Chain A
Amino acid sequence: MPTTASPALIEALQRAVGSQHVLHAPEDLIAYEYDATIDRARPDAVLFPATAEQVAAVVRAANQYDVPVIPRGSGTGLSGGTVPVKGGVVVALTRMNRIVEVDAVNRVAVVEPGVVNLQLQEALAPLRLAWAPDPSSQRICTVGGNIANNSGGPHTLAHGSTVNHVLGLEVVVSDGRVINLGGRVLDAPGIDLRGLFVGSEGTLGIVTQATIRLVPAAPDVRTMLAIFDSVDEASAAVSAIIRNGVIPVALEMLDQEIIKLVEPRIHAGYPLDAGAVLLIEVEGLSEGVAVEADAVIEACRACGAREVRSADTQPARDKLWEGRKVGIGAIGAAAPAFYLLDGVVPRTKLPQVMRRVLELSAQYGFKCANIFHAGDGNLHPNIMFDPQEEGATQRVLDLGGEIMRLCVDVGGSITGEHGIGLEKRSYMEWVFSPPDLAAMERVRLAFGSADRFNPCKILPGGHGCATGHADELARHIAKPGVYI
């Protein structure tokens, strides 16, 4: 790993973006060694470009000096996606944070990649519009990060992942060209390079501007809290609701561990003795909302819900949602460390899988708190542990591996929204065959970016990336404190 960058490279970078926007002193680089995982590696420099042309100049300089380029938003990624494994230049897009245009009539906005998700939402709210992706990290994460990770959130159930909401992208590719993919209108003709790019985790190029689709606010929204004695019953209810033909706009589960952590902080009225609660939201014309809410309540009751509460005013709804929003932070405050897993299973497999997740955690002797996108079958077990305890880290990783394996074995997958990054690349072989992976590698090659952009991410192997599986995994525990 390079220790200090060559002066010539630094000079070239300073010429590209202005010397005040380049960090290269070792002490300044520390904050850019990692994201929300504890994985770390030292970049050669961190730069803060202001325009696509500057980003292109940086890429050309990186080509000249043959160093990797790692795009970075707010660094909230949970899979080590921004860790500069082989050193190189971290391109932080936080200065490119303008909302360039909002065309409310046509429900389109043009934004720079560094716009923070929540800032965008706040700008859109008065227009009764929203950017559909609503990750729980929305207070800090960027639109560029959302696009690169094809992020989701509670409302992904209704609206789909980020890719469904990206119309066009301006990107800088490996030869330093600034190109446009997609357009300003749905379904631009041509090969769907836009769709291929979204979710490519910074490995194919750098997004410098995005044209996005906005969703309108519904006239009526109802949020419900269904209270169950067990995770088992709550899981069964998830499947029952969807089977009945009602697809809520959000359907989230919080288990007892989470309830016990969040309720004392926020007083939303989650019963402390509940085994699990479901947060369920339906929206639309009020007549339909009432009927759908009744169907949801009935399905929950049939699965053993103790009580279903409804909120239809904004403050009451916000209160119910608050528990969901502060959940991960509460875990961070309660345990010396925790490992946030992200896996997906078919919804009908939820009861069986959740049972097994809890069993496995108990077997390994860890507390596991679950707060997740149940409607999409997207699990987030959070394994709490003390890294000081002898062997604990290794056992957490083993448990994480077992849970991922379980997801794959029931027909699911190893990430629903956090991405593969560095964390899960060695699990890719559980899901894909060598020819599948070879085809993916060809995409990288076609973009000319095998080593230029974010090397050692997504695909296993790679020149100079190799650390053993266990070794690689050993560094992927979420850092305490980063969430809050």
Chain B
Amino acid sequence: MTSPTRLESLRHAVPSDVERSPSGFGIDAVEPALAFSPDDRNEVAALLRAADEAGVVVVPQGGRTALSLGRPLQRYDVALETRGLQRIVEYVPDDLTLTVEAGIHLEALQQTLREHGQYLPIDPPPDDHVSIGGLLATARSGAWRGHLPAARDLLLGAVVASPTGQLESSGGRVVKNVTGYDMHRMHTGALGAFGVIVEASFKVAPLPPVTRTLAARADTIAEAGALAMRLWNASLAARAISILAPETAERIGLEASPTVLIELAGLEVSVDRSTQIIREANPRADEPAGTPWERLRRLHGDRVAAVVRFGVPSSDVIGAIEAARGAGCIAWGHIASGAVIGHAPSLDAASVQRLRAHATERGGFLQLESGSRGLRAAVDPFGPGEVDLVRSLKARFDARGTLNRGRWMEGV
């Protein structure tokens, strides 16, 4: 346990009204000694500097929806909530560019954008309060990926508070820019290993005038896979083409058949023409009742269950769905990105390893996106990857292991 005097210096770093009660900031059933909710980036920097000097471990957190991503923390002293950083710094609708503070909730942002007929094309579960910082730090994606760019490709630049208390920016606010190293790309998906994102600039997109969801039922999963592949190659005005195993379809309120679920988005004429193409390919395609996409997203975002994400070549999506079913998962896949999600109340380490082997044999990967503390300690959530360079970066950007220590590997 950390000595109280070492922690005391953090209290002096920021105004007292920034401190919060640590209860409610638990992660994997560990409560921190202190919690803060700074109001601005300078306070974030000051807290980090104080923590770095004191040798304690800080965990930045936004919406707290993805704290079971990564290995269990090695240590957890201080919670740093980013919710106070919620300003829209600059929004120029005519440029389709946006700069925000990193604690802002996605939904709040979307509301502002919607007023101008625009949106940030990212699709986490609708009822989750995800923060922009958390969204970037996790770099997950859903059904739209592959049809639309991922958050990392929408990000134009960022400002990050370093563990030594510096504010460091990279990129910019213009839609095309190759000035300097893209540090913001290093921070994207890094689970806060190298700094706390305090500001981010994005390119946003016009809202599609029309969206329409179609469900096309097939007799077998293989047939659904072939149909999805065919539709992917038909240049539809589609934002998602996903394959659902029968039990998955049932789980989200559809008929229990192998299903291709398609979301069309675009001009009305393009959506109509796309609908026609889909019906020609599968006369049984219809517009389903209910909210299948929302329910699918919620399953993906389930923090209690074990959730794995395969990345495989599109032609192997069906194989990965079958493998995940074999391990007892509810499974579905997105044809354009090759992502296959497996969801189960729990999984054991051996099954995860088997599924990972399935993915890597096909040139892909498997990431454990959520799971019990024990499972995440027993299997590396990320799988094999370059270690030396990651350690070397950590040594340069967070030499004392102040941020999220252990999320990636021992010390990192």
Residues of A within 8 A of B (CB): 103, 105-108, 149-150, 152, 156, 160-161, 163-164, 173, 177, 179-181, 183-193, 195-196, 198-200, 216, 218-219, 239, 242-243, 245, 247, 284-285, 287-288, 290-292, 344-348, 373, 376-378, 411-420, 424, 428, 431-433, 435-440, 442-443, 445-448, 458-459
B229 to chain A, nearest CB (A): 8
Which residues of chain B are near A245, meaning CB under 8 Å? 117, 206, 209
Q: A103-B313, A105-B315, A435-B167 are in contact. Are A161 and B174 (CB under 8 A)?
A: no
B364 to chain A, nearest CB (A): 5
Cα A446 to Cα B399 in complex, Å, equals 12
**Chain B residues near A239 (CB-CB < 8 A):** 94
CB within 8 Å for A186 and B311 given contacts A191-B190, A292-B267: yes
Binds A, one of B176-184, B280-288, B370-378: B176-184
- Enumerate chain A residues within 8 angstroms of B383, measured Cβ to Cβ: 189-190
Q: A185-B364, A188-B365, A245-B206 in contact; A412/B390 too (CB < 8 A)?
A: no
Residue of A nearest to B205 (CB): A247
Chain A residues whose CB sits within 8 angstroms of the CB of B388 once the complex forms: 177
- Mark out the residues of chain B between 158 and 211 whose CB falls within 8 Å of any chain A CB in the assembled complex: 160, 162, 166-170, 172-183, 185-186, 188-190, 193, 205-206, 209
B145, B173, B272, B381: the one contacting A287 at CB < 8 Å is B272
| B149 close to A199 (CB less than 8 A) | no
Which of A156, A377, A439 has the largest number of chain B CB atoms within 10 A? A439
Task: State A88–B62 Cα separation when bound (angstroms).
Answer: 48
Sorted nearest first, the 5 A-B pairs with minimum C-beta distance are A195-B185, A288-B270, A185-B311, A245-B206, A190-B385
Contact B172 A285 (CB under 8 A): no
Q: Which residues of A contact B186 (CB under 8 A)?
A: 191-193, 195-196, 443
CA distance A188 to B386 in the complex (A): 12
Q: Which residues of A contact B178 (CB under 8 A)?
A: 149-150, 161, 199, 415-420
Interchain CA distance A352-B181 in the complex, whole Å:
29
Contact B177 A415 (CB under 8 A): yes
A186 and B309 CA atoms in complex are apart in Å by: 12
**Chain B interface (Cβ < 8 Å from any Cβ of A):** 92-97, 117, 139, 141, 145-146, 149-150, 152-153, 160, 162, 166-170, 172-183, 185-186, 188-190, 193, 205-206, 209, 229, 233, 235-237, 266-267, 269-270, 272-274, 311-315, 337-339, 363-365, 367, 381-383, 385-386, 388-390, 392-393, 395-397, 408
Distance between Cα atoms of A287 and B167 in the complex (Å):
49
Total residue contacts A-B, CB cutoff 8 A: 257
Is the beta-carbon distance between A183 and B311 smaller than 8 angstroms?
yes
A436 cross-chain contacts in B, Cβ below 8 A = 168-170, 180
CA distance A39 to B146 in the complex (A): 41
Question: Are the C-beta atoms of B386 and A193 separated by less than 8 Å?
Answer: yes
Q: A156-B176, A191-B193, A192-B188 are in contact. Are A447 and B169 (CB under 8 A)?
A: no
CB atoms of B145 and A187 under 8 A apart: yes
Question: Contact: B237 with A288, CB < 8 Å?
Answer: yes
A346 in complex: contacting residue of B92, B180, B392, CB < 8 Å: B92
A-B contact pairs, 14 of them (CB 8 A): A161-B178, A164-B149, A190-B408, A191-B408, A192-B139, A195-B182, A287-B273, A344-B177, A346-B97, A347-B95, A411-B172, A413-B172, A416-B178, A446-B393
A99 to B272 Cα, complex, angstroms: 39
In the complex, which residues of chain B have a beta carbon less than 8 angstroms from the beta carbon of A191?
186, 189-190, 193, 385-386, 390, 393, 408
B313 touches A199 (CB 8 A): no
In the complex formed, the residue of B with least CB distance to A430 is B179
Per a CB cutoff under 8 Å, which of B117, B176, B182 touches A378?
B176
B139 touches A160 (CB 8 A): no
Q: With A and B bound together, what is the CA distance between A181 and B382 in angstroms? A: 14
Assembled-state Cα–Cα distance A376/B95 (Å): 10
- Least distance between B380 CB and chain A CB atoms (Å): 10
A160 to B182, CA, bound (A): 15
User: Is there contact, CB below 8 Å, between A288 and B266?
Assistant: yes
Complex: chain A residue closest to B69, CB-CB: A189
Q: Is the CB of A192 within 8 A of B185?
A: yes
Question: 13 extra interchain contacts, Cβ-Cβ under 8 A, other than A284-B237, A284-B266, A291-B269?
Answer: A152-B176, A186-B145, A187-B150, A191-B193, A192-B152, A239-B94, A287-B273, A347-B175, A415-B178, A416-B176, A431-B180, A439-B160, A445-B396
Residue of B whose beta carbon sits closest to that of A106: B313
Shortest CB-to-CB span from B78 to chain A, Å, is 23
A103 to B312, CA, bound (A): 13
Q: Given A288-B266, A435-B166, A440-B181, does the pair A179, B397 have CB atoms closer than 8 Å?
A: no
The listed residue with most A CB atoms (<10 A of its CB), out of B209, B314, B408, is B314
CB atoms of B363 and A185 under 8 A apart:
yes
A144 to B186, CA, bound (A): 21
